[in-house]
Amino acid sequence: MEDPVVLPLNSRMDRSVIQKTYFQVPYPFSGKYLTEDMLVSDDRLKARIEEFISSSSHEKISSPGAQDDYSDL
Q: What is the pLDDT of residues 46-70, one digit of tens each?
A: 999 999 999 987 665 555 555 555 4
- Alpha-carbon gap, residue 6 to 47, rounded angstroms: 14
- Whether this prediction's pTM lies above 0.85 is answered by no
Mean pLDDT of 24-50: 92
Domains of the chain (ranges, CATH numbers): 4-59 (3.30.40)
Tell me the mean pLDDT in the region 31-54: 93
C-alpha distances in Å from residue 40, one per residue of 4, 62, 72: 9, 36, 37
- pLDDT tier, 73 (very low <50, low <70, confident <90, very high otherwise): very low
Residue 14 in 3-state DSSP? Answer: strand
Average confidence (pLDDT) over 32-39: 90
Distance CA 49, CA 54 (A): 9
